[in-house]
Structure 1
Amino acid sequence: MSSPTLDQLHTYHAQERVIFSKLVLQFSRSPSESLLVMATWFWLENFGFEDIFATIFPLPDRLIASFANEAVSCFRCIESSDPPNGFDQIPLTSQYFQNHVSLPMIYKHRYTAIAGIKTFLNTICSRIFSDILAQVLPYSSPPYSVPGLHPSLIIPGFPHPTFGNINVMRPDLVDGVNTFNNNNSFLFPKGLWEWNDHSMESENDRTMFITFSRGFHVSQAEVKELFTNIFGEKCVVGVYMREDCVSSPNIFACNNDQQQSLFAKLVLDSVVTVDRILEGEKLQKFRINGKHIWARKYNEKKDGRTCFT
């Protein structure tokens, strides 16, 4: 399938563009927050809450603004490392959609949501809203250049600590030539018409950090057996642990007497499996062959310093 033209994308996402225009032009919301609101709605619609934009589009402006406020609650809930006990609920969103939606339910799928929102920001929002963003972001703002990418608008608030960066190409400047016209095609990732919910997952996104009790040796085979038995035969991509840690600079990493690894990296097939394992909790405890295993989300900054074979 050939890449869609920009006009085709604008037509296909006409309702979304009207809603986004209201957020940034009429309601004067910040571009970064408005982009996250739209990406959150895109993800929720893909997740199973159908016709979100078709439902919101005909509503009065005051209700659209209220829906946007609840979308902000959604992505702020996802940003938090703690469950949403202290967050307000989202009654309007729950009322208008057939399936029950709540902040605890969204948080239970936190890592799936983060990966999905990042993908929608970069595959759809960055393209279909660029001309609208150019109306609120001064053209005097100097574009920054990323090797291999077109000149981009600077969006205050990005890179985002949870949802990463977004590359929004300037509609007035693409290699010095205006290619945003009716006759030229624009380059889009293959499969944009059909959403691939794993398209921007990195290995770190779908990695768990596993720890063991000192004195109870757990093998790679046991780790794989445990998780495949519970979460499916193909859920484990790899188990990485350091079996011989005598030379490790991390004195907490190993029991040198037994050369026992006290931790492992568990790479899974998708972030969906990460959420299935954690079920909205920071830490889950498992047991195999009488030995305990603790699993939490892998943090590259915190855990990346740890040695693995």
Structure 2
Amino acid sequence: MSPPSIEQLHTFHAKDRKIFSKLVLKFSKTPAESLLIMATWFWLEDFFSQNILSTILALSDPVIMALANEAVLCFQCLDSSEQPNNFNQIPLTAELLAKDISLQIFHKHRYSAIAGIRNFLTTVCSRIFSDILQRALPPSSSYPFVTRLRHPLIIPGFPHPTFGSINVMPDVVVGDNLYNNNLFPCSHGLWGWNASCIATDNERTMFITFSRGFPVSQAEVKRFFTKNYGENCVEGVYMKEDNKNFLNANGNDNGQQQSLFAKLVLNSVATVDRILDGEKIKRFKSNGKHIWARKYSMTRDD
């Protein structure tokens, strides 16, 4: 099946494009913030299986603006590993979804939300809003046609510290045809987004640590998490042995080596959120031995 044309994408996402145009061109929100607002709403639609963007478009401009400001609070609360304190910050969003949702609940699903928003940015927003962004952003230097196709738009605010980079290639009109060179790696993204097809291994990985003198095996780690979070929740456990011999529970050096940490690759980002349950670090006990679990960080843990 051939990928959809730009015109087909614009038609399919006509309502989304109208909302984005309002954010950027009418409400004068920055392109970066507007992209994150739309990606947050896309993720909320997917997470709660509700068509909220059609409802948003039918609302008055002041209400749309207020909802957009609440969406900003939602994605900003994901920047911190600390839970937000105020329980009444997104009342309009809760009413829109007809759910008892708060920033605390949003933060409880932090890693699912980050992965989802990031992927909506890169697989949907980068394709369907490129022409609107060209109108909103300052004009760039004039490139020859072929060169212009190869230069992504410069969007102040990206790369984002939480959501990463977004690659938006400009639309170029040649005769009666509209061209766009945006890469689109996952066919589900525009016609029915599927988080499982685009979550990376790093997004699904946790960092596990153990106490010296109380060795925990790979099999024991897998057995503990599959017992508590589902038979198929663990894809792999990767350990590296410490160079030092460990002392057993009686304080004796038994000449063996112990792994003090492991990487735990799970079946989904949602399982990461289930394990942490809104906490930065979670402590467990398996056969009398402590296990500490937190989200894996490629820059910190490699």
Q: Structure 2 vs 1, CA of residues 141 and 257 (structure 1 numbering), >3 Å: closer, same or farther?
A: farther
Residue type of the partner of 1:227? F
* 2:241–2:260 contact (8 Å) kept in structure 1: no
What is the distance in 1 between the residues matched to 2:233 and 2:170?
A: 40
Q: Deviations over 1:119-153 (max 9, x none)?
A: 1001110111000000011232588xxxxx94210
4+ residue segments displaced more than 3 Å: 177-180, 182-189, 255-258
Distance (Å, rounded) in 2 between the aligned partners of 1:228 and 1:180: 57
Does residue 191 of the first structure (1) align with residue 188 of the second (2)? yes
Q: Take 2:142 and 2:278, find their aligned partners in 1: how far apart are those partners?
A: 41
Secondary structure at the counterpart of residue 197 of structure 2: coil
Structure 2: runs of 5 or more not aligned: 144-148, 246-252
CA contact (8 A) 1:244 1:259 kept: yes
Deviates more, 1:264-273 or 1:29-38: 264-273
Q: Distance in 2 between the 1:185 and 1:292 partners?
A: 51
Q: Which residue of 1 aligns with 2:90?
A: 90
RMSD of equivalent CA atoms: 2.5
Identical counterparts, % of pairs? 61
1:201 to 199, 202, 216: 199
2:249 alignment counterpart: none
Instruction: Kindly state the Cα deviation for residue 66 of structure 1 after the two structures are TM-superposed.
Output: 0.3
Cα offset, 1:190, TM superposition: 2.0
DSSP 3-state at the match of 2:284: strand
> How far apart, in 2, do the equivalents of 1:278 and 1:213 lie?
19
- Corresponding position of 1:2: 2
The CA distance in 2 between the partners of 1:168 and 1:186, in whole Å, is 6
Among candidates 291, 294, 298, match of residue 293 of structure 1: 291
2:177 is matched with 181
For residues 198-218 of structure 1, what are the alpha-carbon distances to aligned partners after superposition, in whole Å with 9 as ceiling and x for unaligned?
333221111111111111111
Structure 1 78/88 Cα, relative in aligned 2: closer, same or farther at 3 Å?
farther
1:211-245 CA-to-partner distances (Å, cap 9, x unmatched) read 11111111110000000111111111111112352
Displacement, 1:274? 0.4
The structure with the largest strand share of the pair is: 2
The Cα offsets for residues 254-294 of structure 1, whole Å up to 9 and x where unpaired, read as: x9954211111111111111001001101111111111111
CA distance in 2, matches of 1:183, 1:10: 13
Query: In terms of mean alpha carbon deviation, does 183-192 or 16-25 score higher?
Result: 183-192
Q: Which residue of structure 1 aligns with residue 11 of structure 2?
A: 11
- Counterpart of 1:133 in structure 2 is 133
Which amino acid in structure 1 is aligned with residue 283 of structure 2?
Answer: K
Which deviations, in whole Å up to 9, do the C-alpha atoms of 1:156-207 show, x marking residues without a partner?
11011100100111113xxxx7498369998644223121113332211111
* TM-score under structure 2 length normalisation: 0.88
Q: 1:209 to 1:111 in 2, by over 3 A?
A: same
